[in-house]
Chains A and B, each alone.
Chain A
Amino acid sequence: MSSPILRLIAQRILLGIVLLLAVSVLIFAGTQILPGDVAQAILGQSATPEALANLREQLGLNDPAWLRYVHWLWGILHGDFGTAQSSGLDIASSIGTRLKNTLFLAACAAIVAVPLAIILGLIAVRYRNGFVDKLISGLALASTSFPEFFIGYVLIFVFAVHWQIFPSISTVDDSTPFLERLQAVVLPATALTLVVLAHMMRMTRAAILNVMQSAYIETAELKGLKAFDIIRKHAFPNAIAPVVNVVMLNLAYLIVGVVVVEVIFVYPGMGQYLVDHVAKRDVPVVQAVGLIFAAVYITLNIVADIGAIVANPRLRHPK
C-alpha cells in the first residue's frame, strides 16, 4: 500500500465522521422543533405545574439547546443513549439485542443476495439480449416490483401455511439456538433477497456491458478466450467500482429499510423497535435509532468508496 491510496482512504473516513456529526445535529434539531413538551408528554394532561417544573429541571430541559446537544452527544460517545420515556428502560441495552437481530437477518439476506445478483448479472451479460438475459431481467424486475408485504405474505402462505416448512412468525430471543434462529429468518431473508436482487443484478449487468465496449475485450476475444471467461476475467475486474457501490447501497437498505418485513414476520429488530417508539412519541429512542441508521449508511458508503479506490489499479500501483 502506498501513500496516495492511504491519504484518499483517510480523507473518506474523516469526511464520514464530519458527515455523521452533521447528521447528529440535524436529528437533534429535528426532534427539538417537534411540537409538544416532553415533560407534559410523560406526566400527562392532568399534571400540576409544580410537577412539570420539577421534571423539566430533572431532565435538564431548561438548559439551552446547544448544551443539551453536547450532553446528548457526550453520552452517546460513551455508549449512553439515555432511557426510553415510555418504558424507562435503558436504550443502549434494548438496542443491543435488536441491532444484533437486524444485522443477523441482513447478513443472511446479503450472503445469498449479493453473490446471486452478481452471478446472474454475469450470466445476463454472457447471453445479452437473448432469451436467458430477458428471463433473468424479467424475473428480477418482477420480484422487485411487488411490494415487500405482498412477497412476505405469499411466502408465508406457501411455506408456512401450505407446506408448513418454515415458521410464519420469526420471533427470536437471546436464548434461541443458532440453527433455530437460522430457520426463523429463512422467510424474511428470502423476502429481502427478492427485493434487493434486481437492483444489484441490473447494475452489475450495466457496469459490465459498459466495460465490454473496451478495446481490451477485443484483445481477449482475439486470444481465443471463451465468452464467459472474458466477462469474468477481463470485464468484471474493471466493473468492480460501480458494483461495490450498488451492493453497499443495498446492504444499507437491508439494515435500515427492513421495517415492513420485520413487522410482517414479527421479527424483533431495529425496524420494529423504531416503529413502536414513533407511535409512542418516544423522542430519545427515535433519536438514537436515527443516529445508528445514519451511521450504518455512512459507514457502508465509505466502504464502497474505499472499495472503488482499492479496485483502481492506477491508485493501487502509482507510476
Chain B
Amino acid sequence: MADKQAKSGQAKPGQASSGRLLDIRNLRIEATVYPPGEAPKTITLVHDVSLTLEKGKVLGLIGESGAGKSTIGLSSMAYGRGGVRITGGEVVLNGRDILKAGPKGVRALRGREVCYVAQSAAAAFNPAHKLIDQVVEATLLHGTASRAEAEKRAIALFKKLSLPNPETIGERYPHQVSGGQLQRVMTAMALCSEPDLIVFDEPTTALDVTTQIDVLAAIKDAIRDTHVAALYITHDLAVVAQVSDEIMVLRHGRLVEWGGTRQIIKEPRQEYTNALVSVHEIEHREQQPGTTPFLSVKNVTAAYGGGHVKVLKNVSVDIYPGQTLAVVGESGSGKSTLARAITGLLPPEEGTVTFDGRPLANRLADRPKEDLRQLQMIYQMADVAMNPRQTVGTIIGRPLEFYFGIKGRERDKRVAELLDEIEMGKGFVDRYPAELSGGQKQRVCIARSLAAKPKLIICDEVTSALDPLVANGILKLLLNLQQVEKVAYLFITHDLATVKSIADSIAVMYRGEVVRYGPKSKVLTPPFDAYTDLLLSSVPEMEIGWLEKAIKGRRMESAGN
C-alpha cells in the first residue's frame, strides 16, 4: 500500500485519512567514521527512536550536540547528512514509508510535503541568486503554483513574518539582508510550497537574544496561522517551551523523555531532563568592589579602518583584584573590541588603560613581557586557539617556559598541577587537541592562561560554543579557580544567564557605548534604561506563555538584525 501511494506523485496522499502526519518507528541511523590510524568503524547515531506527530502540532526535539536531534529531524525527509545512513526502522509520512520511496519519490516529497529551515540561513541561501528566486524555487519545481501565484504567496509570507519592505525584499541578494531577516526569509521559503511539515533546525540559535525573540514570535505566528506541523530542534529548553506542544528529550541518540511541554519543564521525570531544566542555577554571591581597581579603562575610544568606523565611544570601566566584570551586549556592540583595546591588539585612539597605577602602552608591540603575562585571554573557539600539532603538555607548558623559563622536570610537574586544577588529570598530557571534547579543549585553554599566573584573564564568549551542561561545568571551574588563584576576569558574553551566575559587576554595551555599569545587584535591579530592559526581557524563560508576555511588555523595538 505504501508503494502505491508513493507513486501517486503530485496528489498529497493520506491527507483525508487519520490525523497522524508523521510516524517514525524504531529509527536506527548509522555512520562510518575513519579515526586516524585505525580501521574504519560503524557507529550508531540514533538507537531505535520512535515518535509520532499529529497534523498541525509542534514537537520539540531537545538535547546536547551529538544527541541526534538534527539527524532524526532530517530523517523525516529521508536525508542523511554527510554519509549518515538510515539503516533501520520506518519513517511513515502521510501514510507511506518514505524510506522505501526511491530517489524519485524522495525528491517529490522534499520541498513539497516537508521543508527544512536551517540554523544558519546566511549559509543556507545561495549567494548567487535573488531571494525571491530561491523562495519560490521549490513551489515551481513541484508545480503547485504558477510563478505569479508563488511570488504573491511569498510576499504575503514576508508580510506575515514582519519583514521590512515585503514587496521588494525578494529582489535582494542574501548578503544584502541581515541575519535575523534571512532567518525569516528562510521560514517563508519553507512555508511557500505549503508543506505539511517543517523541520526547524536551531533556527534562532545563531541570532542575538534581542533578535531571537522577534524571529521566534514570527515563526510561532506563522505556524499557528498556516496549521503546518513542525519538528522544532534546539538545545535551548526555554526556546522550545514557547513554540511546542510536546517535547522529546534526547541524549546520545536515545530517547530520554517524551511528554507535553508543561510536564517536561515543570515535572521532569528523568534525572537528565531535570539537569537540563535546572541548568544555569549557579549561585554566585556578588563580591563588594575593593577600594582600588588594578585595571582602569578611562574614556577609551577606538576605531577600525583608520578612524572611520568608531566601535568604542568613550568607554570607562574598572576591574578589581580577584573579581569578575561581565561585559554584555549584542553582536556589534563593541564587547570584543574592548578586549582588543585592553590587550593592545587595537590601540585606542583616545583614552588610557592603567594597570597597577601606571598607564599601559597603547600598542601591543610596545608592552614589556611582564605586562603581557599579566593579561591573558581565552577565546570562544577553543579548537582554533590551539596548535593542532602540539600535545596538551606542550600547549600548557609553553607559557611556563616563555614567561618564567621553567623547563624539564619542573615544567612537567607544574603542567600536571595545572591539569589537576582544571579537573582533567595528567593522563591528558600526551593527547592532541583533536582527541578532546569541546569542554576539555576549553579547559586546556584555561590552564594555558593560568600557567602565566596573570592578574586578569579576558574570557571572550568562552561558553557560547558549548552545550549548556558543559558550559555550566566551565563556569563552575572558573569560579573555583578565582577563589584559589585570586585572578580577575573580564567576561565577555551575550548570554545574560551566564552573567547572572558569574559576575560581580556588569557593563552593558550598546553600539560602542557603556549604557549601564555597576555592581551586579544594581545593574539587574529596576528601574532599567530602555536597552537593558529590552536585553533582559528578551532572555527566554522556561515558562509557557513567556514569549507573548515579553513581546507585549517591551518598551523599545529591537534593531531587527
Contact = CB atoms under 8 A, between A and B. Distances in A.
Chain A bound to chain B: yes
B254 interface: no
B125 interface: yes
Interface string B89-109: 000000000000000001111
A317 B176 contact: yes
Interface residues of B, number: 30
B77 A222 contact: yes
A215 B128 contact: no
Contacts of A215: 118, 120, 123-124
Interface stretch (A6-14, A223-231, A276-284): A223-231
Given A215-B118, A317-B176, A223 B111 contact: yes
A111 B511 CA distance: 55
A224 B77 CA distance: 10
A71 to B, nearest CB: 45
Given A222-B77, A237-B129, A214 B175 contact: no
Interface residues of A, number: 19
A162 interface: no
A57 interface: no
B79 interface: yes
Nearest to A239: B128
B125 A223 contact: no
A224 B128 contact: no
B137 interface: yes
A218 B80 CA distance: 10
- Residue with the highest number of chain B CB atoms closer than 10 Å, among A215, A238, A314: A215
A238 B111 contact: no
Given A221-B79, A223-B141, A237-B129, A216 B124 contact: yes
Contacts of A222: 77, 79, 110-111, 115-116
A13 B357 CA distance: 56
Contacts of A216: 123-127
Interface in A175-231: 214-216, 218-226
A234 interface: yes
A313 interface: yes
B227 interface: no
A214 B118 CA distance: 12
A221 B106 CA distance: 10
A303 B401 CA distance: 53
A284 B319 CA distance: 76
B503 to A, nearest CB: 35
A45 B134 CA distance: 77
Contacts of A313: 127-128, 173, 175
A40 B438 CA distance: 78
A238 B108 CA distance: 26
Contact of A219 (B106, B116, B176): B116
B128 A237 contact: yes
A224 B111 contact: yes
Contacts of A237: 126, 128-129
Contacts of B69: none
Interface of A: 214-216, 218-226, 234, 237-238, 313-314, 317, 319
Given A223-B115, A223-B137, A237-B129, 5 more contacts: A216-B127, A219-B126, A224-B141, A225-B111, A317-B173
8 contacts: A219-B124, A220-B137, A224-B142, A225-B107, A234-B126, A234-B128, A317-B175, A319-B176
Nearest 3 CB-CB pairings of A with B: A223-B111, A224-B110, A215-B123
